[in-house]
Structure 1
């Protein structure tokens, strides 16, 4: 499991209020930052709301993706005073991160003319072994706005093909999440979100990590 190079996750606010939706957006950004620091690529399909994100489907790529994901799976606590309801006494908000089943449902067919490619210089860790040319590629599916990146290949052509594969993987993961929701599986995840016993805890608008409350 720890050697898996592709992992699918669902970050969900459950049936929580707007503050939980803010927490999903903040946790997704923190996860993105941590993935960048770990040399992993993270692609996300977001379900936006007025206040943040109802949920997000995440696909992680890279060596050690499963080990990285395991540190996130479970209940996540966000300690912050509500900016939506300033006089509200509650200051603890819980969201959940769950592993999605391997996608058996294929996403919508992607037509090549619907995809825009952007090249950029690969970033992240790697030092002298990191690419120094604009060989990294970001693929954007214009009809949905979904994006996927690939940066580990030295050839821009190979990264372009890999980004397309990852775009398919992201759409497939979203289709699988939609399928689970239709079957009630995802609703069960939303409804069984454990509000307590968090695996990780973040504080304030900057989502600074602190010891998880028990």
Structure 2
């Protein structure tokens, strides 16, 4: 048997335009989600956090996952997540059902920049160092062509070392640029899902202890469709 396929996915947990209570739920969901990730031996890296207006809350968080069978694992999480409980900020509030979303970012952009997309230009270093620094073209200006992002590195007298540093810094800047471009798209996606799927959560949690509530999914529509398809096949 061959080695299992290891792949990478990026997900975002978001409160959309929900109130502070939803941002609190996002922070709680992140804890449970990462606990589940660790139990499955999946590597994760938090790429971006957007804090909520209240302490210990998150409007959104973007997480990169790396491991086996990610699609199967995420199938239990992707969609609308419901918390049933009393507001931690407005105890007298009548609302008891709060919704957030967990979605995979299905964008073609790759967060790992490719060497073929970078151009390097040697230039003379500037600043203290006397004549030696001015005569040697050791500084490196690196440009990521797809995003037009640039960095200038003159940390070392070694051109080779400056190229390595430049690529690392370019990676950091490009990741920030890509995350910013993804945020608005994911928010729009979440607003659509919020309207469509409030009544069909993939996960339900209850109470201030955030105890998981097992839900039984009903597949009545799918069964009816399969029965109709089978009936049509028999009639043909």
Bin for the TM-score computed over the shorter chain: 0.5 to 0.7
Aligned residues: 151
Alignment match, 1:19: 21
Which structure: greater helix fraction?
2
The answer to whether the 8 A contact 1:198-1:213 is kept is: no
Match for 2:201 among 198, 202, 205?
198
* Partner Cα separation in structure 2 for residue 198 and residue 76 of structure 1: 5
* Partner Cα separation in structure 2 for residue 175 and residue 73 of structure 1: 25
Q: Deviations over 1:93-131 (max 9, x none)?
A: 0001111024526589xxxxxxxxxxxxxxxxxxxxxxx
Alignment match, 1:101: 106
What TM-score results when the alignment is normalised by the length of structure 2? 0.57
Q: 1:9–1:88: structure 2 CA closer, same or farther, 3 Å change rule?
A: same
Q: Deviations over 1:121-157 (max 9, x none)?
A: xxxxxxxxxxxxxxxxxxxxxxxxxxxxxxxxxxxxx
* Partner Cα separation in structure 1 for residue 186 and residue 179 of structure 2: 7
Q: 1:85–1:213: structure 2 CA closer, same or farther, 3 Å change rule?
A: farther
Worse overlay, 189-198 or 2-11: 2-11
Q: Deviations over 1:5-64 (max 9, x none)?
A: 211111110111001000100001100101111111222221111330000101111112
Match for 1:30 among 18, 29, 32?
32
* Partner Cα separation in structure 2 for residue 213 and residue 85 of structure 1: 30
Gap regions ≥5 residues in structure 2: 114-167, 218-236
Which secondary structure does the structure 1 equivalent of 2:68 belong to? coil
Give 1:213 deviation, angstroms.
Answer: 8.2
What TM-score results when the alignment is normalised by the length of structure 1? 0.62
Which secondary structure does the structure 2 equivalent of 1:62 belong to? strand
Give 1:4 deviation, angstroms.
Answer: 5.2
Greater Rg by CA? 2
Match for 1:8 among 3, 7, 10?
10
